[in-house]
Amino acid sequence: MAARGQGQLQDFDFFVVVDFEATCVKDARIFPQEIIEFPAVLVDGATGRMESAFRRYVRPKHHPLLTQFCRELTGIRQEDVDGGVDLGEALWLHDDWLKEATAGAGNKRSVRLAVVTWGDWDCRTMLEFECRFKGIEKPSYFDQWINLRVPFQAAFGGGGRVNLQEAVRAAGLDWEGRLHCGLDDALNTARLLVAIMRRGVKITITGSLAPPLSAPILQQPQPHMSSYGGYSGTCLCYCGLANRGGVMQGKCFSGCANWGPAMGAQFGWSN
């Protein structure tokens, strides 16, 4: 049975709002990019109440020293990541937190929850890429998500591509905290989610790692490619970046610019 949200019956008992921060450099790509902050905010699907928050800093393995640009962008200090956990542990800790925070949800055997992010990058690209690259298993609830941009447009309109801060303000809310601090981004995304729920919009899954039935069948995995194409049939290079020029007759045929033969040894399949 659907839960009565603020203004709309929602299909989920809880929304888990996530916003990853990752290693970065100015005006260039870093490879492999790694998650350095793993925050989540739990929102009750029936009441719109923020129930609990989670955060772990994550120690990057390949580029352990954060660039000055990254520290200034995210507000994350070198000592934060030096004292952080690895991604696998962060996923376990997050899962433990989630189980405990949702344990009081009646006497249901299973809780219906959905991950919410601003955009598709967090689940489709960043987490998926890093887990594949490092051979880390992640909970299946990260394999589908709600890109809040979609219900935001339904609730507040606006044709342009607004960023999270602009969207929060367009919803009549003040921005709280520091932009690009993962936990503050997640909290503001959660506040925006609640504002959208109050507008009477039904919040539904917008993205998934599973290709739709009509998607092209991609060829057997090559060392530099991922094994699925995403909704649009777009190839993803194993570096996690969309490889738009790489689909022909339903098959991936090339890696993206990040990949070169010399990097072959860095790639491998985790499944």
Residues at the interface with ligand AMP (CB under 6 A): 19, 21-22, 24, 73-74, 180, 185
* Contact with Mg ion (CB under 5 A) among 16, 17, 19, 54: 19
Q: Which is nearer to Mg ion, 183 or 256 (CB)?
A: 183
Cβ atoms within 10 A of the Cβ of 229, count? 24
Candidate list 21, 34, 37, 128, residue with the active-site label? 21
Listed residue (93, 108, 141) closest to 13, CA to CA? 108
Strand pairing class (14-18; 235-236): unpaired
Count Cβ neighbours within 10 Å for each residue of 53-82 and write b for 16 or more, e otherwise.
Answer: bbbbbbbbeebeebeeebeebbbbeeebbe
Candidates 2-10, 12-20, 100-108, 238-246; binding stretch for Mg ion (CB under 5 A):
12-20
Q: Does residue 37 touch Mg ion according to CB under 5 A?
A: no
Candidate list 34, 37, 94, 180, residue with the active-site label? 180
Q: Which is nearer to ligand AMP, 74 or 243 (CB)?
A: 74
- Is 224 designated active site? no
Q: Which does 218 bind (CB under 5 to 8 A by kind): Mg ion, ligand AMP, none?
A: none
Q: Which is nearer to Mg ion, 105 or 148 (CB)?
A: 148
- Is 176 designated active site? no
The answer to whether residues 16 and 116 touch, using CB atoms and an 8 Å cutoff, is: yes
Which class for 98: exposed (0-12), middle (13-18), buried (19 or more C-beta within 10 A)? buried
Q: What are phi and psi of 4, to 5 degrees?
A: -80, 105
Question: Which residues are catalytically annotated?
Answer: 21, 180
Q: Which residues bind Mg ion (CB under 5 A)?
A: 19, 185
